Amino acid sequence: MPYITEIKDLSSEALKPFVSSNEIQLRRWFEPENGIFIAESPKVIRLALDAGYEPISVLAERKYTMGKADDIISRMGDIPVYTADSDILTGITGFKLTQGVLCAMKRKDLPDASEICRNASRIAVLEDVMNQTNIGAVIRSAAALGIDAVLLTPACSDPLYRRSVRVSMGTVFKLPWTYLDKGAPDYVGELKAMGFTTVAMALHSNTVNIDDPSVRSGQKLAVILGTEGEGLKESTIKSCDYTVKIPMSHDVDSLNVAAASAVAFWELCKK
């Protein structure tokens, strides 16, 4: 059974994972082993547990321990559960817990890109996307709209950062994802070698509309999206089989990468 502890000492060493706003420190918590991450809200924590992530400790508003989170706590084994009233938790974390529960969990080893691409027919690739909200939103759209896996270049923000996990609504635990190898700059060539038709989402002079039938005619398709502002690297665009644009109105030239990804996934994953 979990050991439920009423919080009295706000400087307790055990609360450090929840107090820390430094995501890099959390990633290095057990260095050289994998670090930890924080899952927020009962729904997201359930998805993480279902996906096999190992909980370390829980921080919950008192009313949640016998309410919306009681089923979660019953699954935690003998790990510590720390609890207090809402105002005390706000003082600890620095923000109001709108969902009442945080869970510190161990990270897993990430799979190789070739492993998660082996049986995938539609994948998304994020190139140097650093905004945590966008990472979470893109993965949520990918999970909802038929993408089989997500690959990220090494410069991308971490999908297990707290904001990304929250924005994704836990889909980071349902959809396979991993980072591309730092030592493989020609990832487009590697995707082609795995049989993927590569599609760059970019504002470019030589583009085809996203609904062009030839774009999604390939059995395996990789949709590549870039960061806000700069977009994809020119070398990436030149290496891809297609450069695709989304037709727009009212002189709007582009969409936020998360919005563009939803449009692209919807169109390109049609059967």
Contact between 151 and 176 under an 8 Å Cβ cutoff? The reply is no
Total-model pTM: 0.88
User: How many other β-carbons are positioned within 10 Å of the β-carbon of residue 88?
Assistant: 16
Contact between 26 and 96 under an 8 Å Cβ cutoff? The reply is no
Instruction: Return the closest-CA partner of residue 222 out of 145, 156, 162, 147.
Output: 147
User: How many other β-carbons are positioned within 10 Å of the β-carbon of residue 270?
Assistant: 10
Mean pLDDT of the chain: 86
Q: Give the pLDDT mean for 110-114.
A: 93
Per-residue pLDDT reduced to its tens digit, 228-248: 777 899 999 999 999 998 877
DSSP 129-145: ---HHHHHHHHHHHHHT
Per-residue pLDDT reduced to its tens digit, 180-195: 987 667 899 999 999 9
Distance from chain centroid for Cα 170: 8
Contact between 198 and 224 under an 8 Å Cβ cutoff? The reply is yes
The pLDDT of residue 80 is above 70? yes
Q: What are phi and psi of 42, to 5 degrees?
A: -55, -45
CA atoms within 13 A on the CB side of 177: 29
The pLDDT of residue 73 is above 90? no
Give the pLDDT score at 92.
62
Q: What's the pLDDT band for 2 if we cut at 50, 70, 90?
A: low
Hey, what's the torsion of the CAs at 173, 174, 177, 178, to 10 degrees?
Answer: 30
Q: Name the burial class of residue 34, with classes exposed (0-12), middle (13-18) and buried (19+) by CB atoms within 10 angstroms of its CB.
A: middle
Residues paired with residue 60 on neighbouring β-strands, in sequence order? 83, 101
Omega before residue 159 within 30° of 0, cis = no
Q: Which residues, including other chains, have CB under 8 Å from residue 238's CB and lie 6 or more apart? A: none
Q: Which residues, including other chains, have CB under 8 Å from residue 253's CB and lie 6 or more apart? A: 203
The pLDDT of residue 62 is above 80? no
Q: Which residues, including other chains, have CB under 8 Å from residue 172's CB and lie 6 or more apart? A: 136, 139, 159, 160, 164, 165
Secondary structure class of 189 (helix, strand, coil): helix
The pLDDT of residue 63 is above 80? no
The Cα 266–Cα 259 span in angstroms is 11
Give the pLDDT score at 50.
95
Q: What's the pLDDT band for 97 if we cut at 50, 70, 90?
A: low
